[in-house]
């Protein structure tokens, strides 16, 4: 005896029939996912409770290694630039263990890179010098953040060594007293 399963009840009936135009390609879907993730990551960098150095390093690395070759939509560009400057504003208000000399210029370079990603005809040779400056400031900021991350690892290991040394001293003192 065969039991016929009920057809799934869709939330939006006839949605596929009412869709006009071509379905987005896999490349377009990947592009939108990447843009949404980058925008989310920049907004996350503006949150007060995160490990700032880790998140900035991760986010700027993701941006530098982005795969999408498609042009950024103006709405996506505006959302991403807004998220970038929210992050910058939040970062500037926080106390830092490590001074970021290229914070403002690096974020400005990042915003220019986003603008260029959104602008198809951005290959004006007159702007090349300025473009290279923006890329250099972005890289300088990434280098500073990576240095800060390495230095935080050194501080953590130093603190762990200090704790272990004090514990060893306390044990030896306890043996002497006993």
* pLDDT tens digits, one per residue of 57-93: 999 999 999 888 888 899 999 999 999 999 999 888 8
Question: Is residue 161 included in any domain, yes or no?
Answer: no
Number of domain units in the chain:
1
Q: How far is CA 171 from the centre of its chain?
A: 45
DSSP assignment letter at 119? -
Question: Is residue 15 included in any domain, yes or no?
Answer: no
Question: Is residue 159 included in any domain, yes or no?
Answer: no
CA–CA distance, 102 with 70 (Å, rounded to integer)? 29
CA–CA distance, 91 with 67 (Å, rounded to integer)? 27
Structural domain harbouring 135: 74-153
Question: Is residue 56 included in any domain, yes or no?
Answer: no
CA–CA distance, 29 with 56 (Å, rounded to integer)? 25
Token readout for 83 is 């998220």
Among the listed ranges 15-19, 55-59, 101-105, 132-136, which one has the minimum average pLDDT value?
15-19
pLDDT of residue 82: 95
Question: Is residue 149 included in any domain, yes or no?
Answer: yes
Instruction: Convert the pLDDT of each residue in 122-162 to its tens digit.
Output: 566 557 888 899 999 999 999 999 998 888 889 889 988 99
**Three-class secondary structure of residue 20 per DSSP:** coil
Concatenated DSSP letters of 34-91: HHHHHHHHHHHHT-TTS-HHHHHHHHHHHHHT----SPPPHHHHHHHHHHHHHHHHHH
Question: Is residue 93 included in any domain, yes or no?
Answer: yes
Question: Is residue 87 included in any domain, yes or no?
Answer: yes
Question: Is residue 121 included in any domain, yes or no?
Answer: yes
């Amino acid at each position: 005896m065969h039991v016929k399963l009920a057809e799934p009840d869709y939330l939006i009936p006839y949605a596929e029939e009412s869709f006009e135009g071509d379905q987005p390609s896999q490349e377009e879907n990947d592009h939108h996912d990447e843009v949404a993730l980058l925008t989310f990551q920049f907004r996350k960098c503006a949150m007060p409770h995160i490990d700032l150095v880790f998140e900035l390093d991760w986010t700027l690395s993701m941006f530098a290694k982005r795969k999408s070759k498609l042009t950024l939509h103006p709405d996506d560009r505006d959302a991403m630039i807004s998220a970038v400057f929210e992050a910058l504003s939040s970062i500037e208000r926080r106390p830092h263990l490590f001074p970021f000399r290229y914070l403002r210029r690096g974020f400005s370079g990042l915003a220019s890179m986003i603008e260029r990603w959104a602008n198809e005809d951005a290959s004006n040779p007159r702007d090349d010098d300025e473009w290279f400056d923006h890329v250099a400031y972005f890289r300088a900021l990434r280098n500073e953040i990576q240095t800060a991350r390495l230095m935080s690892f050194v501080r953590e290991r130093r603190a762990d060594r200090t704790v272990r040394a004090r514990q060893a001293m306390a044990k030896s003192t306890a043996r002497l007293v006993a």
